[in-house]
Amino acid sequence: MSRKSKIILITGGLVFCLDRLTKFLVAGHMAPGESLRVVNGFFDITLVHNTGAAFGIMAYAPESLRLPFLLVSAVVAVLLLLYFVSKTDESETLTLVALAMVIGGAAGNIADRAALGYVVDFIDWHAREFYHWPAFNIADSGITVGVFLLGYEFLIKKKSG
């Protein structure tokens, strides 16, 4: 197995497995809308069934349109990311790790949407009553960190190199 394949499988697999495990634990012990206070006024674990995309986009679209659109879009995105992996040199470790994080996160959310028709979210950050960030999950975190790493690689590191 090539170094590139190992990076993709290990990193993407880790994001995917952590996402699946945390969703299983939260969904198995909480009811939708139920919250567990972790840090008062700042962080809760709150089970949310997100039928939409990021930040609930399309949540109120008819399911007959929303679900196929979101599934197909996510699968196409993963296929494009795999294409980028194939074009990335094996020595570009950070780029491969970033792509793997996005792929693993997308796969975690695809698994939810395909099996349940929604994505399980539970990480609930807020600043008391002043601001409430939409709930998210480990898959979303992997996608976000991966995209930031890609941005760093392509916008900052390559510009200075």
Closest by CA position to 119, among listed 98, 99, 143 = 143
H-run or E-run covering 59: none
Quote the tokens at residue 106.
């997308």
Portion of the chain with pLDDT greater than 90, in percent: 81
**Domain span including residue 11:** 3-160
Pairing assessment for the beta strands 131-132 and 119-127 based on DSSP bridges: antiparallel
Neighbours of 152 (CB within 10 A): 14
Of the residues 44, 112, 121, 124, which is catalytic? 121
- Amino acid letter for position 159: K
- Look up tokens 């970033």; give the residue: 98
Portion of the chain with pLDDT greater than 70, in percent: 97
The residue that leads in pLDDT, 1 or 59, is 1
The residue that leads in pLDDT, 130 or 13, is 13
Of the residues 19, 112, 124, 140, which is catalytic? 140
Residue 121 bears catalytic tag: yes
Q: At what angle do helices 138-151 and 3-29 cross, to 10 degrees?
A: 150
Dump pLDDT digits (tens) for 7-63: 999 999 999 999 999 999 999 999 999 999 999 999 999 999 999 887 677 877 888
pTM above 0.85, yes or no: yes
pLDDT band at 108 (very low <50, low <70, confident <90, very high): very high
Domains contained in the chain, number: 1
What is the reported pLDDT for 55?
Answer: 67
Residue 161 has pLDDT above 80, yes or no: no
User: CA 47, CA 123: separation in Å to the nearest integer?
Assistant: 8
Bridge partners, 119 (sequence order): 50
Quote the tokens at residue 91.
């020595």
